[in-house]
Amino acid sequence: MVPPFQRNWAFFLDLDGTFLDIAETPEAVSVSRSERSSLERLRSAAGGALALVSGRSLASIDELFAPLVLPAAGQNGAERRDAGGRRYQLRFPAEQLRPAAEGIRRFAARHPGLLVEDKGASVALHYRLAPRLAAAAHAAVREAAALLGDAVEVQGGKMVVEIKPTGCDKGKAIGQFMREAPFAGRIPVFLGDDATDEYGFRAVNRLGGHAVRVGAGPSAARWRLASPEAARAWLRAWLEHRKMGSEQLIGENCSDP
């Protein structure tokens, strides 16, 4: 089910597996012209209150959506760009991650199918191409993280496990946006699909907004959509609602029965 549409929403969107279809590797993901156009129209209709909240780095987000530049939180909130274009970086000595990253790279080099993604303030090990190595991948990342003590934590996701700064998450990033224009005073709506998005779901619930899980699985989200395709259709339906000026139009055929 999905919540009834309202005009004063602020949108926060995860990318891979939520707004975008998942690919075998992060580099294989692409953005179509229609998807880029949908985001432009959504931002305009929401008065600018649209932000991307992703595990990807800001550089990766910008490369995907170029030439469109949107407010965004990258690396699960370790870096952020507000609606005015100002950038914020978590005070974290990223150079401390390098020994751990090298250990993860050496492990991946011994196992075909594993992919290391070094984002700067976080390091991810993807095993989508080698799912049989899930347990070994998690163990290797935990071992690498142990070198850094309490400064970092291990976060699992869909076919990925990563090291990230302790206390840095999507929920805090959403909270920061919600204290700023043009998000402040609106109702937050966050769409996500993975374990990292649960922080955002809980934050949005506390703020009296709408948390929408895309796909199956237990979640703190009250609402649910079946797939990224359904999520894109639901967002387009909100645009039509906004255009029509109706306060209570529910998008049909976009949610789980």
Domain ranges of the chain: 9-90+168-244, 94-165
* pTM over the 0.85 mark: yes
Structure confidence by residue, pLDDT tens digits, 46-66: 999 999 999 999 999 999 999
**Which residue is catalytic, options 14, 16, 62, 194?**
14
pLDDT at position 9? 97
**What's the rounded Cα separation, in Å, for the pair 91 and 150?**
15
Q: pLDDT tens digits, residue range 135-172?
A: 999 999 999 999 899 989 999 999 999 999 998 999 99
Q: What is the CATH number of domain 9-90+168-244?
A: 3.40.50.1000
CATH of the structural domain 94-165, one choice from 2.50.20.10, 3.20.190.10, 3.30.70.1020, 3.20.20.10: 3.30.70.1020
Angle between helices 134-146 and 97-109 (to 10 degrees): 150
Question: Which pair of tokens denotes residue 27?
Answer: 């580099």
Report helix angle 170-178 to 198-206, nearest 10: 40
The reply to whether 82 belongs to the active site is no
CB 93: neighbour CB atoms within 10 A? 10
First-to-last C-alpha distance (Å) of the chain: 7
